[in-house]
Structure 1
Amino acid sequence: MLVLAVLLLPLLSTASSDHNRRHDHSHNAAKRLPSTWYHGSDHPVHSLFKRGEATDGITYAAVASTEWQSAYPPGPPTKLDPQAIPQAWKSALDAAIARKAIPDIPVAKAMGDDNPAYPAGMDPLSPQICSATYKCRIKGDIWDVADGHLGISFDDGPTEATPALLAFLKQNNQPVTHFMIGSNLISNPQQFLAAFNQGNDIAVHTWTHPHMTTLSNLEVVAELGWTMEIIHNSTGGRIPKFWRPPYGDSDVRTTAIAREVFGLTTVIWNQDTLDWSLTTNGTTRQIVSASMTDWIGGPKSPGLNILEHETSDQSVQAFIAAYPMMKAKEWQVASLAQLIGDNKAYQNSASNTGDVKLAKVGAAVDGAAGGASSTPPPTKTASQKNAAAATSSRSASATPSSAASSRWATGSTGTLAAAVLFMFWA
């Protein structure tokens, strides 16, 4: 009997410990729902209880709310204040400069409607400058796409012309990439939400649409950072992988800032419709149509990366008129970001509905393919460290420290077992 009591004691204590853990409501409340349901996707229960879209777990201000709008700077004609950006972005820039990842070249001079100008003696086509405005291609920047493919994207949204574009895209089940102006999200939040919820990819087109090479380092950071921030906070925490400089104006300095500070890849184009000027008599529908016919009916190498805009009904209609030809000529038509980003438009999520890895704008995203940097990632911020510590603490509190400690945990059943042992021993 003595031997039996000794053998039973650990089992009884384990049962007590397991019982206590099952009734520890503080632990249960902290657990997340499983990533998949027990029932298959075709089970009727899914039509009754649809789960919300995947986010990074943070609750952000509702898009279009006063709280949401007040978190961001005003749009044009107000110029961004580079000193009013988060310290984390400044620190990321300083770190990139310290490791000599940002080329130290002069800021170009704005020349009105003409191309920005560099100081006398500096060649914009030289490797030291390599200005995309002058058609110099920086290694790692995107100009062309794969042979036989046509990547669709639109600049300058969201606008009042966006709904007509989205309606056509939905009718044809065609996803696209929107290079959005940050301040336009403030002006047209519902159009932005419609584009995102329809499954289209969201990318960066700066906050105020300036010539980027004419800005200081901090001003470049402000233009990119605020646009990324509003996209991040309005899409459940997603961080874009791509940006397109307004007017295609970038050089080795601005491209490096985008890559090193924000993990962004620079995207230009290899054909330009000039459709933005349809409303100012800079071009005509006939000219745009003729250009589209030549490009779409021409060689399939390289693939087509056509610059188009959602700025007016005229530009949207120009695309709608050309779309059937894209299909008829058997191009592989896809959203540009999907085509150049291995089917991923974001650094920390596979899609608009996929899981989102918690990350902050201006901080490195592990495994992100958005940038081409070979430099080590920035140190984690204090808030990230605190979050990790909190997660570790929750995990430790919910998990026994060892099998031995759980078996010998005391409780009412454990005490009873000890009494039985003492009785037989006596």
Structure 2
Amino acid sequence: MNGDLYPPKDTIPDVSHPQVKQWVSEIDWSKVPQIPVAGGLPDSPHFPNCPPDDEVDKRSCWWSCDGCVQPSDVVTCPNQSDWGLTYDDGPSVASREMMKYLNSNKISATFFIVGSRVLEYPDILREQVAQGHHIAMHTWSHAGLTTLTNEQIVAEVRWSEKIIRDATGLTVKYIRPPYGDVDNRVREILRQMGYVTVIWTLGWDTNDWRVAMNQIQPDEIMQTFENALDNRELIRSSTGGPGGPVTLEHDLTDGTIYLSKQIIPMGMNRGLRPMSLDRCLNDASPYQKGSLTDQKANGGAGNHTSLATKPGITTPGNGAADYNGSTAQDTKNEQGLSMSKSEAKAMIHNGAQTMGYTVMGLAMVASLMMAL
């Protein structure tokens, strides 16, 4: 990829760029809720800093600070036995080992791509597509989106969209906001750009990246995953019935790949069927533009799971939504775990205390490990 055609790696793109101005002009700003830009942590300005509980605006439906999800958010799989297998922050050199394992076991996965990493590893991204995996977006610089201005959000998404399309010919449809940081302002901007917001099932974040940061031992992650498996009956789909998990992992280092290789058979032995997010959602059109025909013809992982319609499962869309009038809902009986909002919020906050990292920093750790 010609780096001169894109913003600098791991930085929030310049909103004064003519291309960004054009993208910004395409948004109907009258439909975007007037929610203030969130503040960040002192040592990590683009990781959201949650205010006290009584200062959180319930109308904003701010997942990071209130555990709030909207019906349009993807948090679980509709089928109790389906497992949405997802990886964030790549592509990286380590991605190839993960892809090799998945392909040997006839498993497809969803890779949430950071635009800056495509500048470094476009060939690996193309290999993921050729092998039939599902590609989605994780923004350009991995900044918390609620900490960005409206124009910065557009720039982060559109530049990532462009470099992925330039490398693969596909315009992605699903986006996971970094740290799951989303509120109704962010949701509406993403919706107008054609995106479906994806978070993950509470309790099913593996925290695998913490091993690379020497913050946790692999055995602790395995035990946490075992505990999640023991409590699968708590998962609720968007319709309120039993649902399947959407996990959060990373294809960044040998360590995170090793953990995934251990976790996948653990889940399969308990009756879960790992698959890409589009398959767990039964979405036969998983991209805004582009076709899966070429992927299937290549005989990759995309051939291993049928896209046949599953009874009772609906595909998420990006139609009109009223984010201006929404209020925060208790997560009980909604998508995710059947727990109270306070319990959900505590879980999010506990993770947030150790999540104030940048993709650039973790990518540097990955590069150093690969060099050893």
Q: Does 1:101 align with 2:31?
A: yes
Q: Which residue in 2 is equivalent to 1:339?
A: 280
Q: Root-mean-square deviation (CA), in Å? A: 2.4
SS of aligned partner of 1:174: coil
SS of aligned partner of 1:137: coil
Find runs of 4+ consecutive structure 1 residues off by over 4 angstroms. Answer: 118-122
Q: Does 1:133 align with 2:64?
A: yes
Q: CA deviation at 1:344?
A: 3.1
State the distance in 2 between where 1:165 and 1:241 align. 23
State the distance in 2 between where 1:132 and 1:352 align. 36
Pick the aligned partner of 2:156 from 203, 211, 223.
223
Please report the TM-score for the alignment, with normalisation by the length of structure 2: 0.72
Taking the TM superposition and a 5 Å limit, the aligned residue runs for 1:25-424 are 64=1, 66=2, 69-76=3-10, 78-84=11-17, 85-93=19-27, 96-97=28-29, 100-111=30-41, 112-113=43-44, 116-117=48-49, 123-124=55-56, 126=58, 128-134=59-65, 135-146=67-78, 147-236=80-169, 238-260=170-192, 262-270=193-201, 271-300=204-233, 301-340=242-281, 342-351=283-292, 353=294, 370-373=317-320
State the distance in 2 between where 1:319 and 1:352 align. 28
Identity, % of aligned positions: 29
Letter in 1 for 2:98: L
Query: Which structure exhibits the higher relative contact order, with contacts defined as CA atoms closer than 8 Å and separated by 6 or more residues?
Result: 2
Distance 1:335 1:104, change over 3 A: same
Distance 1:344 1:118, change over 3 A: same
Q: CA deviation at 1:354?
A: 7.1
Letter in 2 for 1:106: P
Q: CA deviation at 1:235?
A: 1.7
User: Which digits, 9 at most, give the CA deviation of each residue in 1:134-186, with x for residues without a partner?
Assistant: 21112311112222211001000001211110110111111110001001000
Q: Which runs of 5+ in 1 are unaligned?
A: 1-63, 356-367, 376-426
State the distance in 1 between where 2:254 and 2:179 align. 21
SS of aligned partner of 1:259: helix
State the distance in 2 between where 1:138 and 1:264 align. 14
State the distance in 2 between where 1:203 and 1:217 align. 21
Distance 1:239 1:149, change over 3 A: same
SS of aligned partner of 1:107: coil
For the Cα contact (< 8 Å) 1:212–1:245, is it kept in 2?
A: yes
Distance 1:88 1:335, change over 3 A: same
Please report the TM-score for the alignment, with normalisation by the length of structure 1: 0.63
Distance 1:148 1:349, change over 3 A: same
